[in-house]
Amino acid sequence: MSQPRHRSVLRGVFVTTMALLVAHAYAKPAADALAPAGRWEGKTDGSASTPPMGWNSWNAFRTEVDEDKVMGAARVLVDSGLAKLGYTQVNLDDGWWLKRRTSDGRLQIRTGIFPSAATGGPDGTSFRPFTDKLHAMGLKAGIYTDIGRNACSQAYDLHSPNLPQGTTAEREVGLDGHVTQDINLYFKEWGFDYIKIDACGLADFVPGSELVKKQDYRAMAPLIERGSINRTDIGAVRARYEAVAAALKAARPANDYVLSICAWGMANVRTWGKDVGNLWRTSADITPSWTSMLHNFDSAAKRPLYAGPGHWNDPDILHIGHGDFDAAHPVEVRSHFSLWAMINAPMLVSYDLRNGPASFLAVLGNADVVRLNQDKAGHQGVVTYDSDDAQIIVKTLGDGQRKAVALFNRGASPAPVTLLARHLKLSDSAPVTLRDLWSKQSATFTGEKAFTLAPHETLVFEATGKRQLENGVYLSEIPGSINVAVDGTRQAQPDPTIHRMIDPWSNTRSGGSRPQYAGWGGAQADTTPFGQTLQVAGQAFDSGIGIMANSRLQVKNDAGHALLTASVGVDDSTENTKQPVRFHVYGDGKLLAESPPVAFGTKAHWLRADIRGVKIIELVVRGAASDGAPPVVATWGDVQLVRAAGR
């Protein structure tokens, strides 16, 4: 949880830290950032090789959670068989704490709702009996805190009976000033496996505000300004989460932990979340409405190059069980679940499992759809056809031969959708077999197949056929094998293509629910950074990577490909048409191929690099260092990896 419930609370005097040095946060990368590392720099810490699955207490109970409710959910996960499918995480959200003991800073648990925590002795309370129960059931335990002094409930759930109690200092239950102490408590002493860290403490306890005055909180000049990326201290926010990551690594050197960053897509988390945490929120809190689901889905769906094994885009908890996703809306329930599976979102359910209908368990228990989400290769689905009405999302599965495809009707009217073999990067002259993962029926087509989707319907298929590249793979098919080390963006900007719903907390009293995820201009699969067709001097490319100049991508060559080829150049969509760029291919740190300087309007240059024996390929685009002009949009057209002949 994280998003304001009553925005009028925060209309006090805003005192910002304008020693922010925003220019530093957005500046063009230093020359050494573009130098090949020769080693994989993607996230490897933590135990999230596939997206976390399980249950979270927040949407089910908010702060009015208790031990019986949590253990009841855990029992259903086990008894229903969901745990065997991977739903092993049981996450306790806000509402568990009583206070921070001022004598030694130790957090105390609200034993009135968690009676097993009343262990007595000098420590007062302990969650160890609680986590031991979960572990004995074959499950994992998660806990919640805030990166600042105070939690989100202390700003937005003031009616709650389970808010921290006591003096101002006793109610400061967040990590601020206690990172090592609290992480050691949670992970070494209490035995938790997963932590979700909110960020209200950095945004909402503003000096001079009515909230601070009425609740007698200690004010903090915000590091996150909810309405402005430029007034957010991105470096300071990142540094706080980095401190937690370091404490986690020290507390659990076996890497058996998960760090969930909940900064709601703010503080330009797109560029650094993958390097610090195992998952990072890309949006505000989801609400149980179709339009909220669209908003949250959009925030993550077009960022596949930033996610992969160990680090995942997080569009928030599944809201199955409530509102537009209750038992009366089976089409919407299946769509919500299917979309989260296709984009490798964490699959955390959050309704009262003890009282939910069997139909929900049937959806959550669809092993075929779960398998898409948990595929070991970790390739997030790529939006290969995009409109406000309907989308086609394609995901490459681990063996490289099979694809998953989702046909998604975003609207309230039936939608005609034609699936092309080339959407799947399969040959349009050979049969393609589709297996419907909901109906379990199969069909075959050649070239294209027409569908009519019901309102809000999502059809999901596993597809097999003859690949366009029989002896290789396009890089855009394997985003989970790519690390965007530097993406060349200079100014963080919200993505204007994210669906804007009526603000669920202020209705039409505000300017609408604006996107918070600063993903506009980031690296993209099969489109430019701004969603345009990849095109160089009039030559269009269905496949490729669109990225800004002064960027560096890393690619794992785990399959032992022998050759990389690409048609490279300045994209026709670039705003900067004056500055030339050069493209470079490195293998394990050594230069393998490079282009001459290429300028806008110049025909695409064909690059070829021998990558036999290379483990890490790095693709670098270098351009002029002009602060007065926007970065050049560069295209790696048809960039592909090819096996050696006879393999």
Q: What is the C-alpha separation between 301 and 363, in angstroms, rounded?
A: 21
Q: Cβ neighbours of residue 148 under 8 Å, at least 6 residues apart?
A: 174, 175, 176, 199, 200, 201, 202, 203, 205, 220
What pTM value is reported for the model?
Answer: 0.94
Six-digit token pair at 471?
Answer: 């002896």
Taking 60 as the threshold, does the pLDDT of residue 90 lie above it? yes
Q: Which pLDDT score is estimated for 515?
A: 75
Helices (H), 302-345: 330-342
Q: Is the model more confident about 551 or about 21?
A: 551
Catalytic residue among 146, 176, 193, 198: 198
Q: Which pLDDT score is estimated for 114?
A: 98
Q: Which of 115, 114, 109, 118 is nearest to 145 (CA)?
A: 109
When pLDDT is cut at 50, 70 and 90, the band that residue 31 belongs to is low
Mean pLDDT of 254-283: 96
Q: Which pLDDT score is estimated for 319?
A: 97
Six-digit token pair at 310?
Answer: 């160990």
Give Cα 132 to chain centroid, integer Å: 30
Pairing type for strands 605-610 and 544-548 reads unpaired
Q: What percent of the chain has pLDDT over 90?
A: 88
Mean pLDDT of 275-285: 96
Tell me how far CA of residue 137 lies from CA of 56, 140, 257, 326, 364, in angstroms: 17, 9, 18, 28, 20
Any idea which of 40-44, 177-181, 530-534 has the lowest mean pLDDT?
40-44
Any idea which of 107-111, 458-462, 599-603, 640-644 has the lowest mean pLDDT?
640-644
Give 357: exposed, middle or buried? Use CB within 10 Å, 0-12, 13-18, 19+: exposed
pLDDT digits (tens, 9 = 90+) for 356-367: 999 999 999 999
- The dihedral region occupied by 105, where left means phi > 0, alpha psi between -120 and 50, and beta the remainder, is left
Give 631: exposed, middle or buried? Use CB within 10 Å, 0-12, 13-18, 19+: buried
Pairing type for strands 534-536 and 539-541 reads antiparallel
Q: Cβ neighbours of residue 222 under 8 Å, at least 6 residues apart?
A: 14, 15, 16, 17, 202, 203, 204, 205, 206
Taking 70 as the threshold, does the pLDDT of residue 438 lie above it? yes
Q: What is the C-alpha separation between 235 and 26, in angstroms, rounded?
A: 10
Six-digit token pair at 250?
Answer: 């020290």
Taking 80 as the threshold, does the pLDDT of residue 484 lie above it? yes
CA dihedral 122, 128, 133, 136 (to 10 degrees): -130
pLDDT digits (tens, 9 = 90+) for 489-523: 988 888 999 998 888 878 888 777 777 778 899 99
Q: Is the model more confident about 5 or about 274?
A: 274
Q: Which pLDDT score is estimated for 6?
A: 37
Q: What is the C-alpha separation between 625 and 259, in angstroms, rounded?
A: 36
Catalytic residue status for 285: yes
Using DSSP, how many helices (H) and how many strands (E) does the chain show?
A: 15, 31
Q: Which of 561, 633, 544, 51 is nearest to 307 (CA)?
A: 51
Mean pLDDT of 190-219: 98
Q: Cβ neighbours of residue 132 under 8 Å, at least 6 residues apart?
A: 191
Tell me how far CA of residue 557 lies from CA of 34, 222, 310, 475, 515, in angstroms: 20, 43, 18, 11, 35
Asked if 572 contacts 537 with a C-beta cutoff of 8 angstroms, the reply is: yes
Q: What is the C-alpha separation between 53 and 367, in angstroms, rounded?
A: 13
Q: CB count, 10 Å around CB of 454?
A: 12
Asked if 424 contacts 385 with a C-beta cutoff of 8 angstroms, the reply is: no
Asked if 341 contacts 380 with a C-beta cutoff of 8 angstroms, the reply is: no
Q: Which pLDDT score is estimated for 20?
A: 32
Vertex 433 angle, CA 429 and 438, to 5°: 150
Six-digit token pair at 434?
Answer: 């589709």
- The dihedral region occupied by 429, where left means phi > 0, alpha psi between -120 and 50, and beta the remainder, is alpha
Taking 60 as the threshold, does the pLDDT of residue 3 lie above it? no
Mean pLDDT of 566-577: 97
Q: What is the C-alpha separation between 394 and 390, in angstroms, rounded?
A: 14
Helix (H/G/I), strand (E/B), else coil: 272: helix
Helix (H/G/I), strand (E/B), else coil: 349: strand
HSE (CB half, 13 Å, CA atoms) of 39? 3
Taking 50 as the threshold, does the pLDDT of residue 7 lie above it? no
When pLDDT is cut at 50, 70 and 90, the band that residue 25 belongs to is very low
Instruction: Share the mean pLDDT of the chain.
Output: 93
Tell me how far CA of residue 109 lies from CA of 39, 114, 286, 451, 559, in angstroms: 44, 7, 28, 54, 50
Asked if 486 contacts 33 with a C-beta cutoff of 8 angstroms, the reply is: yes
**In this structure, what are the phi and psi dihedrals at residue 485, rounded to the nearest 5 degrees?**
-70, -45
Look-up of token digits 């409710």 = 69
Q: Which pLDDT score is estimated for 103?
A: 96
Q: Which pLDDT score is estimated for 30?
A: 53
Angle between helices 269-276 and 234-251 (to 10 degrees): 10
Mean pLDDT of 382-388: 97
Catalytic residue among 157, 285, 314, 503: 285
pLDDT digits (tens, 9 = 90+) for 415-434: 999 999 999 999 999 999 99
Q: Which pLDDT score is estimated for 627?
A: 65
Q: What is the C-alpha separation between 340 and 279, in angstroms, rounded?
A: 14
Taking 70 as the threshold, does the pLDDT of residue 22 lie above it? no
Six-digit token pair at 317?
Answer: 């908890």
Catalytic residue status for 495: no
Any idea which of 5-19, 161-175, 352-366 has the lowest mean pLDDT?
5-19
Helices (H), 15-152: 22-26, 31-34, 58-61, 67-79, 82-85, 128-136
When pLDDT is cut at 50, 70 and 90, the band that residue 1 belongs to is low
* DSSP state letter for 98: E
Q: Which pLDDT score is estimated for 293?
A: 98
pLDDT digits (tens, 9 = 90+) for 322-356: 999 999 999 999 999 999 999 999 999 999 999 99
